[in-house]
Chain A
Amino acid sequence: MANRPQPQFPEPNTEAYWEGVKEGELRYQQCNSCGEIVFYPRQHCPACLSDDLAWKASKGDGTVYTFSVIRQNRMPGFAELGAYSVAYVDLDEGFRMLSSIVGVEDPTKDIHIGQRVAVEFEEQDEGEYPIPVFRPVG
């Protein structure tokens, strides 16, 4: 799998996140006013509406919160795949992201809630942005 849709720009909320991905860094934000962890990226803190946010780099370690294995998707880039997963991963820094769990033999059997996973940056056939995905560890 290496033909995922690319993010599209200009989109000022997510630009810095995707620049981070290009550099091999999974970025999230924290509010300097109230300490809230902010994800998906944006230019304000949803807890206090401050615009004073700091970018941070995640270690990329997390836990599967939930997932599904898609057996049928008619869209190009996915239609020709076998079963593949989507998952919410809870990162240790306290943010949740939608992603995919890769590197398992059979996604219908080898993924489970509570599983520990680590980020990796999947190069794509086309487009300049790799895509952050997660692989089980341990």
Chain B
Amino acid sequence: MTDRQAAIVGIHEYPLRVAPGVSGMQIKVASIRAALDDAGLSWSDVDALYDAGDGEAGGGLQLAQYLGVHPTIIDTTNVGGSSFEFHAAHALQAIAAGKCKVAVLSYGATSASRRMAIGTGRLGGGGANWRMNMEMPYGSTLISNYAMVKQRHMYEYGTTTEQLAGISMATRRHAMNNPEAVKAMTDLEFVGVNDITEQNVLSSRIVADPLHLLECCMISDGGGAVIIAGADVARNCAKNPVWIIGTGEAVGYVDNGSDITTSAAAQSGPIAFGEAGITPDDIDIAMIYDSFSITVAVCLEDLGFCAKGEAGDFVAGGRLAYDNDAAKLAINTDGGGLSSNHPGMRGIFLLIEAARQLRGESHSQVEGAKLAVAHGNGGMLASIHTGGTVILAKD
């Protein structure tokens, strides 16, 4: 097991999912302030800045100026929604190498207020580009991209929408325990702010076959911050440290003859578990990037929680809820991107909720949770995507 060299010591999730009149950068600052308070650290302690650049904020360069800091580590890795898992991995490495002591990760975006059609707009921007030249003519959307993975998964393994609905059901149950998630669904005018059934998922409209609306994440405003500190700092913080004990990174992409039902998690997972010296069986809590139902299904398989092709049975009926002792695993206990918070890059919330669980602070607390995995999936599962796996341990 990796020596306990760095820990999450401060967390904050911006409470609103509809925040008109607030900028993404302002959300970052508010979140950083609250996360430092949570850690019992101050602004002058910060010496490393990690930022994914969400478009509004322009990345670490502009953020440093806006914040008014001169960090000794500046990391602007942007690999989509999993960027923050990559940042956590890099912060651990930088702290272990003695390059910094207190790292700040932050995120802020106002995708709902700006009416961004993240899932249903055409992919890619303007201008000549190698890949866009081959894909733009076909009008592929983000949702259709993930839908193609679900289609193939159903074909290969007999997976059904009835089964995968279990992911939406468990996640919604957790959201109903989380007042901020309830407010999010209310503010975003969800049709029903209540527990959902298999039938609700099946009868929700199809956005891109075979993905139904209730299998797709929301588009919200929001953000948050995570403070990661070295062991000497972490031992003296206000809250119990949540140790980062293993990390893994990977990229996955479609290729001639490749299997798109297998994701980058098949590489990043074993690296992270190996580094942590544990197996998926040891994990109590899994925060898996739920952009869509199929993302969770594929990543659960690739991380080794069940065999390839068996995620349907593994999640069916809402099995992976926090209070189902028989399942020995709970997912996305904050309500996930499906039912709590998804401004576009939700990776930071995976770290935040995993830390809450290991501190005993979740609204859907798993009693005695000691080990958690946060797995971010960024980009597009059926074409180019990233996997960032972070294993976290209770003090």
A interface residues with partner B (beta carbon < 8 Å):
4-11, 13-14, 17-18, 37, 39-42, 65-75, 77-78, 81, 84, 86-88, 90, 94-100, 108, 113-114, 131
Residues of A within 8 A of B382 (CB): 66, 88
Contact string against A for B residues 138-159, beta-carbon threshold 8 Å, 1 for contact and 0 otherwise: 1111011101110110010000
| Neighbour of B139 across the interface among A10, A17, A67, A84, CB < 8 A | A84
Instruction: State how many angstroms separate the Cβ of A115 from the closest Cβ of chain B.
Output: 11
Q: A67-B151, A95-B256 are known; give 9 further A-B pairs, CB within 8 A.
A: A7-B128, A7-B133, A68-B143, A68-B145, A68-B147, A73-B141, A74-B120, A94-B256, A100-B139
Residue from B117, B127, B256, B257 having most chain A Cβ neighbours under 10 A: B256
Residues of A within 8 A of B209 (CB): 67-69, 71, 108
Given A72-B208, A75-B122, A96-B257, A8 and B127 contact (CB-CB distance below 8 Å): yes
Given A7-B136, A100-B138, A71 and B206 contact (CB-CB distance below 8 Å): yes
Instruction: State how many angstroms separate the Cβ of A122 from the closest Cβ of chain B.
Output: 9
Task: Judge whether B128 and A8 touch: CB under 8 Å.
Answer: yes
Residues of A within 8 A of B145 (CB): 68
Given A73-B121, A73-B122, A88-B254, A66 and B149 contact (CB-CB distance below 8 Å): yes
Task: Judge whether B139 and A66 touch: CB under 8 Å.
Answer: no
**Is B114's beta carbon under 8 Å from chain A?**
no
A10 to B133, CA, bound (A): 11
Interface residues of B in 229-271 (CB under 8 A from A): 254-258, 260
Given A69-B208, A78-B122, A96-B255, A11 and B129 contact (CB-CB distance below 8 Å): yes
**Is B134's beta carbon under 8 Å from chain A?**
yes
Interface residues of B in 200-226 (CB under 8 A from A): 205-211
Instruction: State how many angstroms separate the Cβ of B361 from the closest Cβ of chain A.
Output: 38
Task: Judge whether B208 and A113 touch: CB under 8 Å.
Answer: no
Task: Judge whether B257 and A94 touch: CB under 8 Å.
Answer: yes
A33 to B43, CA, bound (A): 57
Task: Judge whether A8 and B133 touch: CB under 8 Å.
Answer: yes
Task: Judge whether B130 and A88 touch: CB under 8 Å.
Answer: no
Task: Judge whether B139 and A77 touch: CB under 8 Å.
Answer: yes
User: Which residue of chain A has the shortest Cβ distance to B206 in the bound complex?
Assistant: A71
User: Which residue of chain B has the shortest Cβ distance to A11 in the bound complex?
Assistant: B128
A78 to B134, CA, bound (A): 17
User: Which residue of chain A has the shortest Cβ distance to B255 in the bound complex?
Assistant: A96
The total of Cβ contacts below 8 Å across the A-B interface reads 135
A70 to B211, CA, bound (A): 10
Chain B: interface size category? 35 or more
Residues of B within 8 A of A71 (CB): 205-209
| Neighbour of A39 across the interface among B126, B137, B256, B260, CB < 8 A | B256
**Is B313's beta carbon under 8 Å from chain A?**
no
Given A7-B133, A75-B121, A113 and B155 contact (CB-CB distance below 8 Å): yes
| Neighbour of A42 across the interface among B130, B136, B258, CB < 8 A | B130
Task: Judge whether B207 and A98 touch: CB under 8 Å.
Answer: no
Task: Judge whether B129 and A4 touch: CB under 8 Å.
Answer: no
Given A66-B260, A71-B205, A88 and B122 contact (CB-CB distance below 8 Å): no
Given A14-B133, A40-B131, A66-B148, A4 and B139 contact (CB-CB distance below 8 Å): yes
**Is B135's beta carbon under 8 Å from chain A?**
yes
Task: Judge whether A74 and B117 touch: CB under 8 Å.
Answer: yes
Instruction: State how many angstroms separate the Cβ of B297 from the closest Cβ of chain A.
Output: 15
A91 to B145, CA, bound (A): 20
User: Which residue of chain B has the shortest Cβ distance to A65 in the bound complex?
Assistant: B152
| Neighbour of B130 across the interface among A11, A68, A73, CB < 8 A | A11
Residues of B within 8 A of A65 (CB): 152, 260
Instruction: State how many angstroms separate the Cβ of B229 from the closest Cβ of chain A.
Output: 41
User: Which residue of chain A has the shortest Cβ distance to B120 in the bound complex?
Assistant: A72
Residues of B within 8 A of A74 (CB): 117, 120-121
Shortest 6 CB-CB distances between A and B: which pairs?
A75-B122, A68-B147, A68-B144, A11-B128, A66-B152, A78-B139
A9 to B258, CA, bound (A): 29
A63 to B206, CA, bound (A): 25
Sample 24 A-B pairs with CB under 8 A, ordered by A number: A5-B136, A7-B128, A7-B137, A8-B126, A9-B128, A10-B128, A66-B260, A67-B148, A68-B143, A68-B144, A68-B148, A68-B210, A69-B144, A71-B207, A73-B141, A75-B121, A75-B139, A77-B139, A78-B122, A81-B139, A86-B139, A99-B138, A113-B151, A114-B155
Residues of B within 8 A of A40 (CB): 130-131, 134
Instruction: State how many angstroms separate the Cβ of B358 from the closest Cβ of chain A.
Output: 38
